[in-house]
Chain A
């Protein structure tokens, strides 16, 4: 198996895993939280690299600490989660840079950790993604309904006798696991594209959670394959190309669905609906400005 074959396999696996988990991230409105987790996992990976420990173990341990840290800091009434996440995000990333800069030749390492090196993934990385994929599948098949219930009706979920803390922790730890296996391939600061964008694309096309998951997986795999293909042909950074392809898919989907709702909406004389092409899934609060 050549490096390019492994890169393709890694892209397919990551696209699948990222697509599956991204729908849950979107349903719970966690994109910013995910961004913070990716940035804050970065110092853990660097520490592990400096200490010569396992990268996955270092990143994982740090990531769990970060999850707990954000949850603790966001319990302040004055500023809410956004500020705490913002601080953890930028300070965590900075800590990684500080640690890296203590070593010589840090620009090259920084590049590898921040934007990834999918062409250098080994069989170990592939196994790690596959294992996390199994974990994600297990979580979704065992607790998929519960996750949806929790996302749409937190109050009802708690009243029905479930424990929100348990399912939240399970989800966040799974997200963290996906981030850790995504870092070698697409880097710490681009991992969020794998974890958020596929569902953002899918949500434009459908409101059904199952269909959304399917589209998200297809978008994840498609942009991964296209990214590796384009980057090997034109010799540009692979992690960046994958993300750019995902972004382009999103832009095209947005244009297509907005046009479609505008056409069908005006034909039926419903300007209101045309202004809001897809207002269902995550509730109206952050979708009002579409169009």
Chain B
């Protein structure tokens, strides 16, 4: 195994693990749409940084935090069908595409920013990922009770005197940091797959939060490693392979648990957009 693939493996294991762990919170709070918006805004940040020649992590970080500050207020993030997100999601991406298209030979840069290139991840990227891993696991361990309580019953959390704004804002900020960390490895459009796929699968297999978080982390890291193996064997895009594996995981989880829970499905079907 060359140094190149070793770095890619480290980057993908870390990114997959972080996303799998934090993904449980994303699934519990139904933040998928918000995460996708966050990814697109981060893409704009990456492109702006690349065009103006500043550090990409800083550009992505500013953009992601800005998105959290604008959209995270008043529980917007948890409203999945919000049209302003819909406009923001395509607007940010389009602005990024326009910016990047001002430079010659833009196709290659565009695909790197969109779908990542873990094989070019440097030691700096891996250090950032390691720091984020410590941050995410530390926060989830220390604030576990508060986070779960706020996810399931915001009203009671507020009534008990917890700072709900701080909890929600902190979680969204953590999500932004994770998306920014994931950009070098999986680009701006694919963190959603890593965040939601392993965690949603884990939550289908167990309904308890701590085991689900552990399983989600393991599945995410495994998906990263499997994606790298897939790309080395069949010469396909690494990050996209990882994301496809995350999707396949969920389909497997959904079918294996389908029969056992068919009864419950009929009892409490959620209100859907349809």
Q: Does A208 contact B (CB under 8 A)?
A: no
CB distance from B85 to the nearest CB of A (A): 7
Q: Does B53 contact A (CB under 8 A)?
A: no
Contact B98 A91 (CB under 8 A): no
Binds A, one of B101-109, B138-146, B147-155, B165-173: B101-109
Hey, which chain A residues are within 8 Å of B272, CB to CB? 74, 80-81
The interface residues of chain B, by DSSP majority, are classed as helix
Q: Please list the 8 inter-chain residue pairs (A to B) with the smallest Cβ-Cβ separation, ordered nearest first.
A: A91-B247, A86-B32, A247-B91, A243-B94, A94-B243, A240-B97, A90-B193, A101-B237
Q: Does B184 contact A (CB under 8 A)?
A: no
Q: Name the one of B87, B94, B236 contacting A239, with C-beta atoms under 8 angstroms.
A: B94
Contact A90 B247 (CB under 8 A): yes
Give Cα distance in the complex from A9 to B197, angstroms.
41
Hey, which chain B residues are within 8 Å of A246, CB to CB? 87, 90-91
Q: Name the one of A34, A79, A91 contacting B248, with C-beta atoms under 8 angstroms.
A: A91
**Interface set, chain B 114-166, CB cutoff 8 A to A:** 114-115
Q: Does A33 contact B (CB under 8 A)?
A: yes
User: How many residues of chain A have a CB within 8 Å of chain B?
Assistant: 72
Q: Does A189 contact B (CB under 8 A)?
A: yes
Binds A, one of B8-16, B56-64, B72-80: B72-80
Give Cα distance in the complex from A106 to B90, angstroms.
23
Whether A76 contacts B265 in the complex (CB less than 8 A), given A29-B81, A97-B240, A236-B102, comes out as yes
Contact B200 A189 (CB under 8 A): no
**Extra inter-chain contacts (7) besides given A86-B32, A286-B82, CB under 8 Å:** A28-B274, A78-B261, A80-B30, A80-B272, A81-B272, A82-B80, A197-B90
Contact B83 A35 (CB under 8 A): no
Contact B270 A77 (CB under 8 A): yes
Q: Does B208 contact A (CB under 8 A)?
A: no
Give Cα distance in the complex from A85 to B30, angstroms.
11
CB distance from A157 to the nearest CB of B (A): 12
CB distance from B264 to the nearest CB of A (A): 6
Give Cα distance in the complex from A93 to B186, angstroms.
12
Per-residue interface assignment for chain A, residues 61 to 102, with 1 indicating a CB less than 8 Å from any chain B CB and 0 otherwise: 000000000010111111111110111111111111111111
Of B106, B108, B192, B248, chain A has the most CB atoms within 10 Å of the CB of: B192
CB distance from B220 to the nearest CB of A (A): 13
Give Cα distance in the complex from A196 to B94, angstroms.
14
Contact A94 B244 (CB under 8 A): yes
Give Cα distance in the complex from A115 to B239, angstroms.
19
Q: Does A32 contact B (CB under 8 A)?
A: yes
Contact A102 B94 (CB under 8 A): no
Contact B90 A193 (CB under 8 A): yes
Give Cα distance in the complex from A26 to B84, angstroms.
11
Contact A91 B197 (CB under 8 A): yes
Give Cα distance in the complex from A177 to B189, angstroms.
24
**Interface set, chain A 26-77, CB cutoff 8 A to B:** 26, 28-35, 71, 73-77
Per-residue interface assignment for chain B, residues 232 to 274, with 1 indicating a CB less than 8 Å from any chain A CB and 0 otherwise: 0011110111111011101100100000010011011110111
CB distance from B108 to the nearest CB of A (A): 5
Contact A31 B86 (CB under 8 A): yes
Whether A240 contacts B193 in the complex (CB less than 8 A), given A86-B36, A193-B91, comes out as no
Contact B81 A31 (CB under 8 A): yes
Contact B95 A240 (CB under 8 A): yes
Q: Does B196 contact A (CB under 8 A)?
A: yes
Q: Does B35 contact A (CB under 8 A)?
A: yes
Contact B240 A31 (CB under 8 A): no
Give Cα distance in the complex from A261 to B124, angstroms.
50
**Interface set, chain B 1-52, CB cutoff 8 A to A:** 27, 30-33, 35-36
Q: Does B229 contact A (CB under 8 A)?
A: no
Contact A107 B108 (CB under 8 A): yes
Hey, which chain B residues are within 8 Å of A240, CB to CB? 93-98, 101
| Chain B residue with the shortest CB-CB distance to A254 | B84
Of A76, A88, A108, A190, chain B has the most CB atoms within 10 Å of the CB of: A76
Give Cα distance in the complex from A87 to B31, angstroms.
12
Q: Does A250 contact B (CB under 8 A)?
A: yes
Q: Does B190 contact A (CB under 8 A)?
A: yes
Contact A289 B76 (CB under 8 A): yes
